[in-house]
């Protein structure tokens, strides 16, 4: 088993180190991280890469171990299904104009929530992470979209920057590797902001 010490590393380095080992075909990888966001990021990476993931908390409470064992069951896109990924880098649509930008993004997300084929993923970065805060007028709509199967990825570096990581109410705190992958692997990527 290969062991990786990814404590004190900024996002997305724990995932990138893990990926380097899985790319070699390593059957078992044990990663030590020091925060819950990294636990989630590494766990999701393992599961998407065809590994089973198991978490173990270290005895000191300062280290969390995620062990990935190759299972060969990588997450796959439904055959023939076209996927769309959307990135929001702002909590408004277009430029701010006396509240118009907020009205437009709320209507846009409302339309997405009612569409026949919701996007595979929605990524929130920079000011876009504010869409997932409790005071956002779009929170319930994003929660509705997530219930329909859309993966909501919220940039952890951005939530740390704004000091709101513990306030996010929809989706998962994610990383640049996962967000970029969701956009690059989609059949169509749409960027707002």
Using the predicted structure, report yes or no on whether residue 183 has a pLDDT greater than 80.
yes
Do 28 and 88 fall within a single domain? Answer: no
pLDDT band for position 80 (50/70/90)? low
Q: Return the percent helix, strand and coil in the chain, to nearest 5.
A: 40, 25, 40
Look at residues 21, 43, 70 and tell me which one is the last residue of a structural domain: 70
pLDDT band for position 76 (50/70/90)? low
Cα–Cα distance between 46 and 15 in angstroms, integer?
9
Do 89 and 179 fall within a single domain? Answer: yes
Q: What is the mean pLDDT of the chain?
A: 91
**Structural domains counted in the chain:** 2
Do 139 and 106 fall within a single domain? Answer: yes
| Contacts for 7 with CB less than 8 Å, ≥ 6 apart | 32, 33, 34, 62, 63
Look at residues 70, 101, 128 and tell me which one is the last residue of a structural domain: 70
- Expressed as residue numbers, the domain containing 62 is 2-70
Do 98 and 155 fall within a single domain? Answer: yes
Supply the pLDDT for residue 116: 87
Cα–Cα distance between 6 and 30 in angstroms, integer?
10
Q: Mean per-residue pLDDT for 35-49?
A: 90
pLDDT in tens, 95-137: 767 788 899 999 999 999 988 889 999 999 999 999 999 999 9
Look at residues 29, 47, 70 and tell me which one is the last residue of a structural domain: 70
Query: Do the domain assignments include residue 131?
Result: yes
pLDDT band for position 177 (50/70/90)? very high
pLDDT band for position 78 (50/70/90)? very low
Which percentage of the chain shows pLDDT scores above 90?
76
Closest Cα partner for 138 from 129, 126, 147, 148? 129
Supply the pLDDT for residue 12: 86
Using the predicted structure, report yes or no on whether residue 170 has a pLDDT greater than 70.
yes
Is 0.85 topped by the overall pTM?
Answer: no
């Amino acid at each position: 088993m290969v062991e990786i010490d990814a404590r004190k590393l900024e996002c997305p380095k724990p995932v990138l180190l893990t990926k380097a080992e899985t790319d070699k075909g390593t059957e078992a990888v044990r990663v030590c991280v020091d925060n819950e966001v990294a636990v989630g990021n590494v766990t999701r990476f393992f599961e998407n890469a065809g590994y089973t993931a198991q978490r173990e908390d270290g005895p000191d409470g300062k280290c969390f171990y995620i062990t990935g064992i190759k299972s060969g069951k990588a997450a796959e896109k439904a055959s023939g299904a076209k996927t769309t990924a959307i990135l929001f880098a702002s909590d408004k649509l277009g430029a701010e104009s006396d509240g118009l930008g907020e009205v437009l993004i709320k209507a846009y997300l409302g339309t997405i929530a009612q569409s026949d084929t919701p996007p595979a993923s929605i990524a929130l970065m920079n000011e876009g992470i504010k869409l997932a805060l409790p005071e956002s007028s779009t929170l319930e709509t994003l929660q509705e979209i997530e219930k329909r199967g859309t993966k909501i990825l919220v940039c952890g570096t951005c939530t740390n920057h704004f000091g709101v990581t513990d306030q996010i109410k929809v989706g998962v705190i994610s990383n640049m590797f996962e967000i970029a992958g969701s956009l690059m692997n989609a059949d169509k990527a749409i960027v707002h902001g």
